[in-house]
């Protein structure tokens, strides 16, 4: 019962801050609400017994990605960036389409057999970091190396794109 | 206990909100943030299935998703800086150099 209450608190905060991200006018405020949303998601990951993912979420998203966003907003001209909130008119069909999509997804999920799956009492996973590390460095070592290569390329690309003159 | 379908509905809600941000907003920074929101909603799905089915693969996959999202943000913001340096425009409707 307590778990459900916590889930509702985190879920409502996450959805509310996500709506704030999309609807706020100032990009700085959007970044702050996105931070709130990501912290709620980290809490949900803890509730799902994945503490490593929660920590990575806080480190990578809140610690790195959002600070990067804030730096870029700081470099740009924020007064010029204070722009219209939504494009006026002609976009009602987008909202209608998204509402229909949401309705369809919720209907499909609630009618499917997914709701019959309950949480395992004592499963195989212990939820420790050791488990994730062992899997990552034995069975999934090739994707791990590929991802590290992708990160290296992204680093080089960001440096090349950020230089003053492109030749 | 929290059933699996609640997590999936929450992730669907966040996905829809992120998609609305991409489709409705014209500020390129907000569009990038909405993309992050979409990727994170998928992560909730993956981790929820990983826990309920007791399978580690969901967690591993979500680690890779987070890594690729970080790389994507670095590149996207680099492109954004280069773009603003050449032509001060944050509205995606004004960025049409490639006639897309």
User: Residues A29-73: pLDDT tens digits?
Assistant: 999 999 999 999 999 999 988 889 999 999 999 999 999 999 888
Kindly list the residues from chain A whose CB atom is less than 8 angstroms away from the CB atom of residue B48. 48
Subunit contact B63:A124, Cβ cutoff 8 A: no
The residue ranges of chain A whose pLDDT is under 50 are none
pLDDT at A83 (0 to 100): 55
Nearest to A50 among B12, B51, B71 (CB): B51
A149 touches chain B (CB under 8 A): no
SS3 B91: strand
B56 touches chain A (CB under 8 A): yes
pLDDT at A76 (0 to 100): 78
pLDDT at B47 (0 to 100): 93
What is the least distance, in Å, from the CA of A34 to any CA of chain B? Answer: 8
Subunit contact B4:A101, Cβ cutoff 8 A: no
Kindly list the residues from chain A whose CB atom is less than 8 angstroms away from the CB atom of residue B31. none
The tokens describing B13, both together, are 């809600």
Q: Which residues contact B51 (CB under 8 A, 6 or more apart)?
A: A48, A49, A50, A119, A125, B58
B50/A137 Cα distance (integer angstroms): 19
The tokens describing B47, both together, are 């981790």
CATH (residue range A1-81):
1.20.120.1200
Tell me whether 0.85 is exceeded by the ipTM: yes
Comparing alpha-carbon positions, the chain A residue that sits nearest to B29 is: A27
Residue with tokens 């509205």: B91
A78 touches chain B (CB under 8 A): no
Kindly list the residues from chain B whose CB atom is less than 8 angstroms away from the CB atom of residue A98. 16, 19-20, 23
Which of the four CATH numbers 1.10.287.3510, 2.40.50.140, 1.10.3720.10, 3.40.50.300 does domain B4-86 have? 1.10.287.3510
Subunit contact B30:A118, Cβ cutoff 8 A: no
Q: Give the global pTM.
A: 0.89
Nearest to A53 among B25, B47, B80 (CB): B47
């Amino acid at each position: 019962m307590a778990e459900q209450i916590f889930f509702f608190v985190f879920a409502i905060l996450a959805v509310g801050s996500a709506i704030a991200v999309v609807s706020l006018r100032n990009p700085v405020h959007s970044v702050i609400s996105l931070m709130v949303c990501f912290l709620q998601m980290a809490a949900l990951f803890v509730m799902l017994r994945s503490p490593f993912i929660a920590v990575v979420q806080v480190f990578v998203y809140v610690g790195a990605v959002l600070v990067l966003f804030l730096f870029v907003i700081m470099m740009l001209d924020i007064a010029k960036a204070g722009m219209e909130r939504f494009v006026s008119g002609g976009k009602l069909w987008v909202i209608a389409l998204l509402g229909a999509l949401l309705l369809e997804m919720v209907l499909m999920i609630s009618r499917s057999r997914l709701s019959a799956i309950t949480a395992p009492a004592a499963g195989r996973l212990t939820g420790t970091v050791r488990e994730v590390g062992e899997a990552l460095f034995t069975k999934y070592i090739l994707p791990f190396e590929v991802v590290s290569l992708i990160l290296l390329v992204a680093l080089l690309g960001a440096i090349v794109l950020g230089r003053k003159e492109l030749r | 206990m929290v059933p699996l379908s609640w997590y999936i509905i929450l992730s669907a809600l966040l996905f829809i909100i992120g998609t609305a941000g991409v489709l409705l907003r014209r500020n390129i920074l907000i569009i990038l943030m909405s993309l992050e929101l979409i990727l994170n909603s998928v992560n909730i799905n993956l981790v929820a299935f990983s826990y309920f089915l007791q399978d580690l693969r969901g967690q591993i996959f979500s680690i890779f998703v987070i890594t690729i999202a970080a790389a994507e943000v670095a590149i996207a913001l680099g492109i954004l800086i280069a773009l603003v340096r050449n032509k001060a425009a944050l509205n995606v409707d004004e960025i049409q150099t490639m006639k897309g």
